[in-house]
Structure 1
Amino acid sequence: MDRTPSAYRRVMLKISGEALMGDQGYGLHPPTVARIAQEVKAVHDMGAEICMVIGGGNIFRGLAGSAQGMERTTADYMGMLATVMNALGMQSQLEALGIHTRVISAIPMDQVCEPYIRRRAVRHLEKKRVCIFAAGTGNPYFTTDTAATLRASEMGCEAVFKGTKVDGVYDKDPNKFDDAKRYDTVSYDEALEKNLGVMDATAIALARDNKLPIIVFSLDAPGGFRSILAGEGTYTRVAS
């Protein structure tokens, strides 16, 4: 077990569903899920209490379904169910590593996961169980970014960690422009005004209202999540 103390007591890790599909283009790629689970374990071993929200875009994206003619609320509910599938996959990998994990759904489905009860979820965290919040907020028209910010606020998290494919927030796409500039820090208002793509506007506004920092980092960099909690690493901090 890593004895390095964590700079944070309780954190929310938000990752996209696409992060779980590796290079196969769809669904869950077990080696990729296992790698991310190892990243979570490294932080868990530091003593941090961990919440997670995983998107569902690797299986179904409600907005895309709506754009193709499907009724929006139905499409969004299908997307919520996709996040439950991803959460169960991550739970399986974490528990294979010996980490007690609870999948907690905003849509009750008692046979496969727990319903969302705030006080129970807090107690799980106090017992060092990883809590994976699934099914978004339980409401259509809200993204998993907003769900992550909401649950992080309810759980008393000290920051939302947004795992992406790049090591922070840039003024333009660093994969397309060699002169892209990475921000070390950026304000909530600047992220909104410049449409920097940190999270959707509702999530950023909710984080701003609750003074909840957003840490954007690369989930592809081995040990990246752990290094930030150890006071190192490369990332962008979105705050006041």
Structure 2
Amino acid sequence: MTTVINLGGSVLAPSLEKENFEEYANSLREIAKQEQLFIVTGGGVKAREYIGVARELGVNEAVCDKIGIDVTRLNARLLISALKSEAYPDPPKSYKEAENAMALDKIIVMGGVIPGQSTDAVAAILAEYVQADQIIFATSVNGVYDKDPNLNGDAKKIDKLSPTKLVKIVMETEIKAGSKAVVDPLAAKVIERSKIPTVVMNGKDPEAIKKAVLENKHQGTIIED
């Protein structure tokens, strides 16, 4: 089995403390005993802070994207450091490099790839590229809602939905550097075409991610036809 986990920066690195990275590394090691494992790390708060300053300096969105990518790769390097010899030593900069790294039987950790693609999209495209069996979006929320729960008190969590319905929900999201959508529109469209079973879940507890992957036990949203 091959699993791609999109590990949001807001859960992996809400603050820069080594304990966060060590705790996730411990759970990921257990998963990797049974799975070929790819991790895509987000940028989280730090990426949005850097992007915010860049916008104030008047740079364009493509440059903001590049700055965000740099931060995601820093988070990837810290997680690789926590995983030590069990991880591929460098964050792949392309999908092909990630695929080639599979031959070493290591946990492969990467950040962003190119401007215009969030790490959500990177995870979905990577999963398609390596023919993954499942995608896990480990986020700061517990699933997909019918509307933004931060803005709508009557928002309802959806336990299961089709990729097409996911696309419909997220298409209202603005695509720009640092977006905080639970799954961005490009990622949703890739999931729709690839039909790879996907879970969106709260990833703040590393053990919960391990149970979701190895035991299929979680409180998140299942995305599949």
| TM-score normalised by structure 2 residue count | 0.82
Is contact 1:55–1:83 with CA below 8 Å preserved after alignment?
yes
Query: Could you list the per-position Cα deviations for residues 103-156 of structure 1 after superposition, in whole angstroms to 9, with x for gaps in the alignment?
Result: 33327xxxxxxx9525522313xx2x100123x22x212211111111111111
CA distance in 1, matches of 2:186, 2:37: 23
Is contact 1:17–1:55 with CA below 8 Å preserved after alignment?
yes
The ranges of structure 1 where at least 4 consecutive aligned residues each deviate by more than 4 angstroms after the TM superposition are 172-180
Counterparts in 2 of 1:202-213, with a 5 A limit? 202-213=186-197
| TM-score normalised by structure 1 residue count | 0.77
CA root-mean-square deviation = 2.6
Runs of 5+ in structure 1 lacking a partner? 1-8, 108-114
Is contact 1:59–1:82 with CA below 8 Å preserved after alignment?
yes
Sort the Cα spacing of 1:198 and 1:78 in 2 relative to 1 into closer, same or farther, 3 A.
closer
Counterparts in 2 of 1:130-149, with a 5 A limit? 130-134=107-111, 136-137=112-113, 139-149=114-124
State the identity as a percent.
23
CA distance in 2, matches of 1:133, 1:222: 18
1:57 is aligned to 2:37: no
CA distance in 2, matches of 1:119, 1:177: 41
- Which residue number in structure 2 is paired with residue 121 of structure 1? 101
Structure ranking higher in helix proportion = 2
Is contact 2:139–2:182 with CA below 8 Å preserved after alignment?
no
The residue identity in structure 1 corresponding to 2:223 is V
Query: Could you list the per-position Cα deviations for residues 149-205 of structure 1 after superposition, in whole angstroms to 9, with x for gaps in the alignment?
Result: 111111111111000123322335667877653322111221222239441111110
Runs of 5+ in structure 2 lacking a partner? 172-180
The residue identity in structure 1 corresponding to 2:72 is T
Give aligned pairs, total: 213
The residue identity in structure 2 corresponding to 1:55 is G
Q: Which structure has the higher relative contact order (CA within 8 Å, separation 6+)? A: 2
